[in-house]
Structure 1
Amino acid sequence: MFFLRLFYLDVIVADEYSRQAQEARTSKIVVEAPRGTIYDRNHNVLAISVDATTIYANPSEIDDVQATAAQLATVLGGQADDYAAKMGNRNLQFSYIKQKADVSVADKVRELGLKGIYFLADSKRSYPYGQVGGQLVGACNTEVDEQTKEEYLTGISGLEYYYNDVLSGKPGYYEAEYAQNGSPIPGAVHQSVAAEEGQDIVTSIDIEMQRTLELKLALGLYQVGTESGTSVIMDGGTGEIYAAASYPLFNPADRSTVAEGSMQLKAVSHLIEPGSVFKTATAMAILETDTMTPSDTVYAPASISADGYVISDAHERGDTVYSLRQIMQYSSNVGISLSAEKMGFDKLYDHIKKYNLNSPTGVDYPGEQTGYMVDFADWSRVVGYNVSFGQGISLTPLQITRFYGALVNDGVECTPHFLIGMSNAEDMPDWEGQKEKVIENTAAIADMTSMLKTVVTDGTGKRAAIEGYNVAGKTSTAEIYDEVNGGYLKGVYNLCFAGYIADSSSQLVCFVGADNVPSDSAVTFIFHDIMTEAINRYNIVSE
């Protein structure tokens, strides 16, 4: 019986027992793929995976779990019981203690010389510029795979989220046998698959221009009495966004406090009734349809009425006659309303659609809103009046910026975007192929630009003027819809300015907006400060 039992163990079930023994001392370790690096247009690093250390335990080797847990807590922080729970099952030979710990922190744990505690090389995400551009770059969270229970980084906002699949790469793994003390047995790696690093991406962001924009915007918002606003600088000829920010800002490198809404870029996700900055679109349609020239006039009474509503200009005046140029110069609601009616509200509606002011821009950033406009079948006379000067219609600041970009690009709109390069060039979107000519009567663009220059030299946009340059743009003081009571809020406004430097070597377009401003002021000086820095940085010259 003894020899029969021995034969059974050594021959019949030897392979099975050997397999079970090997499985008991074998662990599968997932090797996370380092995320790709995010660069600005000058190849400054905006987000990068840096060295880290994962700390793990061999619970079967630990004699005093509570004492070990207490010492870990002194270095890693947290409660000792949390670490004790990870080491309590003495049948395990592998248990994570802390993944992606700072190398310096892991070294301090190593110095403790704790029995059964071991270390693996790892990586984690770092954001060298912190808050500057943080809203655009976005952030990552550590998620847990439900099947493998392994942790991995995934983008949760900004470009980290939008390009998560590109940046993530593919994880690898290896299976290795471990000795009783938890160390790998030499030569006992049974299977190994290398991790594939994520792709690097190059963005259109100029981090130094971004720093300037954030600073000038913050100072300007403080001066007009609000803490909420947004600004964008975009190349109208390419769609590349050089800088963009909205307040409050977001710092992916320090998420101890995150202000509500700070992880979104309001230029993309925030709908506004644009107000008078929209008059440029209406005037462009009037010029394109040959309804009026800049010098043609209309009788503009102090107020007009329609459907039981009264429309007047922002500032009191008497009855007068305005040319189209003066309507833009003085930002007359009555004047643009009557001019649009002369053209035909159906043509206004058609041109709004043609200019893509009711369509998403296609920007490569999460959370884009489309906007809202009543279908033309439901337009009344007062709706036509209101839409002509940017009320009763909603769109994003980026949609406005894209339209103004067409004015500096011979009527061609570009898709606003951040991505300008990646490791695998074959995966690049065809931004050039997405351009669309939206202004057919390009001869009328010169007249439009001429009127926008008058707004700055002699009208409501004087503080946008930059000495030695022809600034063209339009101001806006828009009422804010009262979502609780209906109608519009009293004594509080959304202020905007959109413009560009005409007759120059640059096709940069800049939008500035301030939300919920408790006064009838302007943001033109913020545009002036931002674009003055752009002139110096990009050596923009008048032509």
Structure 2
Amino acid sequence: MPGQRGVPRARAGNVPHRTYSVRARRKRSATTVRNNRNRFVVGRIVLTLVLVAAGLKLVHIQAFEASALSERAERQRTTIIDIPAERGSIVDRNGAELAFSVETRKLWVNLRQMRQAWDEYAREHPESGENFDTRADEIAGYIASRVPDLVTKKELLDAFHKDASFTYLIEVEPSVAEEISKRYHEIGYEKRAKRVYPGGELAANVVGYANWRTESEDVSEHNLHGLSGLEYYRDEDLVGTPGRQIVDTEQGTDVVIPGTERDMRPAAPGSDLELTIDSDVQYELERSLADYVDKVDAKGGSAVILDAKTGEVYALANNKTFDPNDPAALSTEAMGNPAVSTPFEPGSVAKVITATAAIESGIVTPETKLAVPGAMKVADHTVHDAWSHGTQDFTVTGIFAKSSNVGTLLLAEKIGPDRFMDVVDRFGIGHRTNIGLPGESAGYVPPREQWSGTTFGNLPIGQGLSMTVVQMASMYQAIANGGVRVEPRIVKAKIAPNGRRIPEPAPAATRVTDAKTADTVKEMLCATTQDGDYYYNGTAPDAALEGYRIAGKTGTGQQVNPKTGAYSNRLHNITFAGILPADEPRFVVGIWLDAPDTTIPGGGSAASLFHEIASYLAQRYNIPVSDQSAPRVRLVY
């Protein structure tokens, strides 16, 4: 329509068309560009700040946390393990091994992990028919086939199916453990050691027993430790110092990656112990003692062989012993050592105390004669000799060679209780010998304030006091050694890991009596082994050894009846102590038989057992025969 310029036409659908001027459009375009530019700038600023923050964090980590994070990562893939030290060996005086260690491995299995892994496998692969039970059966069968002497398949299956999350299996050689663990990844192992006793029962009561111990919360203490004997008593010398090692392990497991071991601190082996014992002599003493105990039907017995000069123990035996290679058969009784731990009333063998006191005091000489009746009253008690006789003249030598109780008490009256007790103390009775073995008893001597009227009627004849067989032999070692008692010892030296031999400290020596008195008493005791008629016969002619002068003393000590609390007329301690040879003493032998049947031939005396032992010693050590036989002296007139 003319005249209507500038009016827009309506579009279809009557929607008005919005129009802008060119200026308006330009203004809007400029604003949009400016806004986009602002956003871009802000974005760059934000990104820059993020990068700066990240950089600062990286710098902080590198500068301050790198060491800690590295240590944490290292811990995640490495393990610190304690390395047990090698236990020292125990050898005899000639270097023969009595105990040593071998390396072993203790197999173990994490039952919880194994069950979880195989239960999951069984769910995911039901068609395989494999599960925890089938895997356990396979492993148990293989291990049992590899070490059939150590374990059965049933025993292993019982271990696999116990209600526990973890269990140990068996101890095997390292190569076997490596093979089993490589074949079955479920089986791990710990480094351990096992004690080996090549002689079995030989000297077991002395050497003792050690096994692997894990009861300590300190894992570094897990090692072989002693339970009895020298293994226990000298454990600190034998055990050594454990080391530490770092190893890399496979992710999620305890499996050590071979070749990754690094020592933090190497383990230091323990020292070896060199004993005074001679294994051959020990074997012979154990054999002869056990046979004799069986022969006379005794409850038990102990014996010891000492070097007459040094007090070194060449052999120490009990009739009851054990095999430390068979832990299942161990018992507290068998692992004990009665030779040092069980005191007894020795009887007449202790009359050497009275003899020493009498000669030392000068109140008599060996030839002095005393009128000795067959019995005498002591307080409210009557003391008899072992055989019936009227009053007879005994020499002092005869009193001890024929073991007259009455004659000994007559001498004790002349000596007096104070002098007598002084000699008892010098002989070491009532004190431990410090032999170097666990459980040693000091014996018993009643204090003076506890004496009754009959006490001094018992002590001089070896009743009312007690001693071990080692203490008993030690008294005679003093007589054989010119009156000087040297503490017996069982360990001769320590051998350090570097091979350096460290002798044990010198044993204490005590002057019991002067050399002249000791030699006189020794000569008197040679008459004990005399044979002949009543006037010449000693109590132990069976102890005599052809070609050698033997000094010794028999003993028959009454035991207390446990039911009545009184001395028994049936139960006795049968003892003997002897010196071989008397003229040049080399060995002292002490023997104790616990309650033998005295009605059996040989049951009432240990003289023939001494003869057997002395004969062996003379041959083994080629002891020269005596230059002349002992003079034959009359004992009773």
TM-score using structure 1 length: 0.90
Distance, in Å, in 1 between the alignment partners of 2:304 and 2:538 is 23
- Give the aligned partner of residue 406 of structure 1: 478
Asked if the contact 2:82/2:220 (under 8 Å) is kept, the reply is no
**What is the letter of the counterpart of residue 450 of structure 1?**
E
- Give the aligned partner of residue 531 of structure 1: 614
- TM-superposed CA distance for 1:186, in Å, is 6.3
Task: Please identify, of 52-61 and 336-345, the stretch whose mean Cα deviation from structure 2 is larger.
Answer: 52-61
- Give the aligned partner of residue 476 of structure 1: 555
Q: How does 1:213-232 map to 2 (within 5 A)?
A: 213-232=285-304
- TM-superposed CA distance for 1:259, in Å, is 4.8
Asked if the contact 2:374/2:391 (under 8 Å) is kept, the reply is yes
- Give the aligned partner of residue 513 of structure 1: 592
Asked if the contact 2:493/2:501 (under 8 Å) is kept, the reply is no
- Give the aligned partner of residue 456 of structure 1: 529
- TM-superposed CA distance for 1:55, in Å, is 3.2
- Give the aligned partner of residue 439 of structure 1: 513
In structure 2, relative to structure 1, the CA distance for the partners of 1:311 and 1:6 (3 Å cut) is farther
3-state DSSP of counterpart to 1:368: coil
- TM-superposed CA distance for 1:476, in Å, is 0.8
- Give the aligned partner of residue 186 of structure 2: 116
- Give the aligned partner of residue 203 of structure 2: 133
- Give the aligned partner of residue 366 of structure 1: 438
Q: Which of 462, 465, 481 is residue 393 of structure 1 equivalent to?
A: 465
Unaligned runs of 5+ in 2: 1-45, 119-131, 145-150, 531-536, 627-637
Any idea what the Cα deviations from partners look like across 1:214-253, whole Å, max 9, x if unmatched?
1111111112112410010010211110011112112111
| 2:217 is aligned with 1:143 | no
Q: How does 1:32-47 map to 2 (within 5 A)?
A: 32-47=84-99
Asked if the contact 1:53/1:103 (under 8 Å) is kept, the reply is yes
**What is the letter of the counterpart of residue 235 of structure 2?**
N
Figure out how many residues of one structure are paired with residues of the other and give that number: 534
Asked if the contact 1:500/1:508 (under 8 Å) is kept, the reply is yes
3-state DSSP of counterpart to 1:47: strand
- Give the aligned partner of residue 92 of structure 1: none
3-state DSSP of counterpart to 1:455: helix
% identical aligned pairs? 30
Distance, in Å, in 2 between the alignment partners of 1:146 and 1:185 is 27
**What is the letter of the counterpart of residue 609 of structure 2?**
I
**What is the letter of the counterpart of residue 422 of structure 1?**
K
Any idea what the Cα deviations from partners look like across 1:429-473, whole Å, max 9, x if unmatched?
3225x1222112x21222211221111113111111111111110
Any idea what the Cα deviations from partners look like across 1:382-436, whole Å, max 9, x if unmatched?
211210000001111111111100111111111111111222468543225x122
Distance, in Å, in 2 between the alignment partners of 1:100 and 1:81 is 16
Asked if the contact 2:107/2:169 (under 8 Å) is kept, the reply is yes
**What is the letter of the counterpart of residue 123 of structure 1?**
A
- TM-superposed CA distance for 1:202, in Å, is 0.8
Q: Which of 230, 240, 245 is residue 169 of structure 1 equivalent to?
A: 240
Q: Which of 415, 430, 435 is residue 343 of structure 1 equivalent to?
A: 415
Distance, in Å, in 2 between the alignment partners of 1:245 and 1:431 is 24
Q: How does 1:215-294 map to 2 (within 5 A)?
A: 215-294=287-366
Distance, in Å, in 2 between the alignment partners of 1:267 and 1:97 is 39
- Give the aligned partner of residue 605 of structure 2: 522
**What is the letter of the counterpart of residue 358 of structure 2?**
I
- TM-superposed CA distance for 1:108, in Å, is 7.1
Distance, in Å, in 1 between the alignment partners of 2:103 and 2:192 is 6
Distance, in Å, in 1 between the alignment partners of 2:472 and 2:203 is 22
Unaligned runs of 5+ in 1: 90-95
Distance, in Å, in 2 between the alignment partners of 1:37 and 1:190 is 27
Asked if the contact 2:523/2:582 (under 8 Å) is kept, the reply is no
- TM-superposed CA distance for 1:345, in Å, is 1.8
3-state DSSP of counterpart to 2:431: coil
Asked if the contact 1:453/1:472 (under 8 Å) is kept, the reply is yes
Distance, in Å, in 1 between the alignment partners of 2:609 and 2:55 is 90
- TM-superposed CA distance for 1:166, in Å, is 0.4
Distance, in Å, in 2 between the alignment partners of 1:9 and 1:86 is 50
- TM-superposed CA distance for 1:490, in Å, is 3.1
- TM-superposed CA distance for 1:79, in Å, is 4.8
Task: Please identify, of 146-155 and 135-144, the stretch whose mean Cα deviation from structure 2 is larger.
Answer: 146-155
In structure 2, relative to structure 1, the CA distance for the partners of 1:320 and 1:239 (3 Å cut) is same
3-state DSSP of counterpart to 2:293: helix
- Give the aligned partner of residue 298 of structure 1: 370
3-state DSSP of counterpart to 1:226: coil
- TM-superposed CA distance for 1:538, in Å, is 0.6
3-state DSSP of counterpart to 1:262: helix
- Give the aligned partner of residue 25 of structure 1: 77
In structure 2, relative to structure 1, the CA distance for the partners of 1:170 and 1:100 (3 Å cut) is farther
In structure 2, relative to structure 1, the CA distance for the partners of 1:256 and 1:315 (3 Å cut) is farther
- TM-superposed CA distance for 1:190, in Å, is 6.3
**What is the letter of the counterpart of residue 521 of structure 2?**
M
Asked if the contact 2:109/2:169 (under 8 Å) is kept, the reply is no
Asked if the contact 1:503/1:542 (under 8 Å) is kept, the reply is no
3-state DSSP of counterpart to 1:156: strand
- Give the aligned partner of residue 53 of structure 1: 105
**What is the letter of the counterpart of residue 479 of structure 1?**
Q
3-state DSSP of counterpart to 2:557: strand
- Give the aligned partner of residue 249 of structure 2: 178
Asked if the contact 2:529/2:542 (under 8 Å) is kept, the reply is yes
- TM-superposed CA distance for 1:191, in Å, is 5.4
Higher strand share: 1
Distance, in Å, in 2 between the alignment partners of 1:412 and 1:492 is 34
- TM-superposed CA distance for 1:149, in Å, is 8.0
- Give the aligned partner of residue 623 of structure 2: 540
Asked if the contact 1:498/1:512 (under 8 Å) is kept, the reply is yes
- Aligned-residue RMSD, C-alpha: 3.0
3-state DSSP of counterpart to 1:394: coil
Any idea what the Cα deviations from partners look like across 1:157-186, whole Å, max 9, x if unmatched?
111111110000001121222013644346
- TM-superposed CA distance for 1:284, in Å, is 1.1
Task: Please identify, of 46-55 and 19-28, the stretch whose mean Cα deviation from structure 2 is larger.
Answer: 19-28
**What is the letter of the counterpart of residue 564 of structure 2?**
N
**What is the letter of the counterpart of residue 368 of structure 2?**
D
